[in-house]
């Protein structure tokens, strides 16, 4: 089969599998950060408008003409675009064996999915944390959001303290600004979720702190839709391992935010992982055919920093 025909066949298989996103890679698949599939091919950056507004309306009397003006500030920056690349190869001998056994299609499909997985994993960390070597920040460490260093220690917190802390997390957003944004999501570490689930009241032993927090939030008018999510990316161990810029050592980072494309998003091309054109496929000296794939993604953009809060707490154990 000619190289071009192989390319066409692989692209068809790839396109059929594009609907099967990896559910656990929640930053790469749009669950935690909205993703717009409108990135122009070849783009090296995208323009970002960060808008802040200050001001209040006045009450106009019968003889008054003084109309207060709301001050709108727009700052324009550029969000860089990266290309995640990976590929797979099939040796001449293996290719013959797969063809003889009738397993070529299965091997090709599994190879494509494995490469897509590797690319999505790389983009998942990129959207979450950015890339320190390129000076790019991500969802967890955007330079426009000022972290809050909290003394809260979940390891010694009582049932009542846990419930109060989480309710205050939700209610405190916007207290120091003119923003009336309501949070929709709280992202915490998995260990903190376990502590919430296992801590019970001394008087109501059937109810965990997690259930109490969820019930208390649902009871507050306007906050019924707030979702508590546990993500490994919030764990201190992973933050330290990935050397995430702007996050203190031995601290879990809680993110309270409004998950809305008007607040934050990342941009990708319409296809998550594409096969490179046929002219970029190549045979190496070991008689193996190499099939490279790629996906392009912008750094996550936070348009409204007042709708995002970082809270650093003592690591849950």
Q: How far apart are CA 302 and CA 299, in angstroms?
A: 10
Q: How far apart are CA 75 and CA 65, in angstroms?
A: 31
Comparing 5 with 253, the larger pLDDT belongs to: 253
Residue 103: pLDDT band with limits 50, 70, 90: confident
- For residue 315, the model assigns a pLDDT of 95
Q: How far apart are CA 306 and CA 149, in angstroms?
A: 17
Place of tokens 């296992």: 198
> Which phi and psi (to 5°) does residue 296 adopt?
-110, 140
Give tens-digit pLDDT for 105-118: 788 888 888 999 99
Per the CB < 8 A criterion, the answer to whether 264 and 302 are in contact is: yes
Per the CB < 8 A criterion, the answer to whether 163 and 203 are in contact is: no
- Pick the range with the lowest mean pLDDT from 32-41, 193-202, 203-212, 249-258: 203-212
Residue 1: pLDDT band with limits 50, 70, 90: very low
Give tens-digit pLDDT for 35-62: 999 999 999 988 766 666 555 666 666 6
- For residue 274, the model assigns a pLDDT of 87
- Pick the range with the lowest mean pLDDT from 2-6, 103-107, 190-194, 234-238: 2-6
> Which phi and psi (to 5°) does residue 184 adopt?
-115, -20
- For residue 87, the model assigns a pLDDT of 93
Specify the DSSP class assigned to residue 232: G
pLDDT over 90 at 94, yes or no: no
Mean pLDDT of 200-222: 88
Q: How far apart are CA 295 and CA 8, in angstroms?
A: 18
Q: How far apart are CA 257 and CA 80, in angstroms?
A: 23
Per the CB < 8 A criterion, the answer to whether 233 and 25 are in contact is: no
pLDDT over 90 at 67, yes or no: no
Residue 17: pLDDT band with limits 50, 70, 90: low
Q: What is the average pLDDT value for the chain, to the nearest integer? A: 86
Comparing 29 with 50, the larger pLDDT belongs to: 29
Q: How far apart are CA 280 and CA 223, in angstroms?
A: 51
pLDDT over 50 at 312, yes or no: yes
Give the torsion through C-alpha atoms of 36, 73, 75, 142, to 10 deg.
-70
- Give the pTM: 0.85
Per the CB < 8 A criterion, the answer to whether 58 and 66 are in contact is: yes
- For residue 263, the model assigns a pLDDT of 93
Output the six-digit token pair for 265. Answer: 């998003």
Which domains does the chain possess? 3-54+74-138+264-302 (3.30.2400), 148-262+307-314 (3.30.2320)
pLDDT over 60 at 199, yes or no: yes
Output the six-digit token pair for 310. Answer: 């970082």
Residue 13: pLDDT band with limits 50, 70, 90: low
HSE (side-chain half, CA atoms, 13 Å) at 185 = 17
């Amino acid at each position: 089969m000619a190289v071009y025909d192989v390319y066409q066949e692989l692209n068809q298989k790839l396109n059929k599998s594009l609907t099967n996103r990896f559910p656990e890679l929640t930053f790469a698949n749009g669950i935690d950060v909205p993703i717009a599939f409108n990135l122009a091919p070849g783009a090296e950056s995208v323009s970002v408008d960060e808008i802040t507004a200050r001001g209040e309306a006045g009450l106009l009397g019968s003889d008054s003409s003084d109309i207060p003006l709301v001050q709108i500030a727009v700052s324009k920056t550029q969000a860089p675009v990266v290309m995640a690349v990976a590929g797979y190869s099939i040796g001449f001998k293996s290719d013959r064996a797969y063809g003889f056994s009738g397993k070529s299609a299965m091997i090709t499909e599994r190879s494509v999915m494995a490469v897509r997985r590797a690319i999505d994993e790389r983009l998942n960390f990129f959207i979450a944390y950015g890339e320190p070597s390129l000076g790019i920040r991500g969802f967890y460490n955007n330079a426009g959001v000022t972290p809050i260093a909290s003394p809260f220690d979940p390891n010694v917190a009582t049932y009542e303290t846990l419930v109060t802390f989480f309710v205050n997390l939700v209610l405190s957003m916007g207290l120091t600004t003119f923003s009336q944004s309501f949070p929709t999501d709280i992202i915490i570490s998995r260990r903190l979720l376990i502590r919430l689930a296992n801590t019970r009241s001394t008087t109501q032993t059937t109810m965990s702190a997690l259930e109490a927090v969820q019930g208390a939030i649902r009871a507050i008018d306007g906050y019924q839709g707030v979702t508590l999510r546990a993500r490994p990316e919030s764990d201190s161990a992973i933050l330290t391992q990935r050397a995430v810029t702007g996050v203190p050592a031995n601290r879990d980072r809680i993110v309270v935010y409004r998950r809305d494309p008007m607040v934050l998003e990342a941009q990708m091309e319409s296809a998550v992982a594409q096969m490179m054109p046929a002219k970029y496929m190549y045979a190496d000296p070991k008689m193996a055919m190499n099939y490279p794939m790629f996906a392009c993604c912008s750094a996550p953009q936070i348009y409204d920093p007042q709708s995002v809060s970082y809270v650093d707490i003592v690591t849950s154990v």
